Amino acid sequence: MKTLVCTVSINGQKYKIYSKTYIDIINVVEFLGYKNQIYILEYNGKIYRPLPDKKESRKVFSLKNKDKLEIITVVGGG
């Protein structure tokens, strides 16, 4: 099986991602440690909140070369 290589920008930093299958953005976000946080996703200039479920996200959120992703977290305080 061929390995997919994808160079993307996440929060302004370049990453090279290698995968044997499509690259699901939700999986990347969870891998980066945002799974249990409230966040808003900006994908190629478009804001997504609420996010589609995992089954639907495969259609909408498969990373492609040169995509830009911003993960914006919500922080409370006083």
In whole angstroms, give the CA distance from residue 40 to residue 74: 8
Tell me, what's the pLDDT at 7? Answer: 94
Q: Look up residue 59 and give its DSSP letter.
A: H
Q: According to the model, what pLDDT value does residue 67 have?
A: 94
For the cut 70, the answer to whether the pLDDT of residue 12 exceeds it is yes
27-68 tens-digit pLDDT: 888 888 887 788 888 999 998 876 666 666 666 678 889 999
Contact (Cβ atoms closer than 8 angstroms) between residue 69 and residue 42? yes
Confidence of residue 22 (pLDDT cuts 50, 70, 90): confident
pLDDT of residue 58: 61
- 4-73 is a CATH 3.10.20.30 domain: yes
Q: 66: Cβ–Cβ under 8 A, 6 or more apart, which residues?
A: 7, 8, 9
| φ, ψ for residue 25, nearest 5 deg | -60, -40
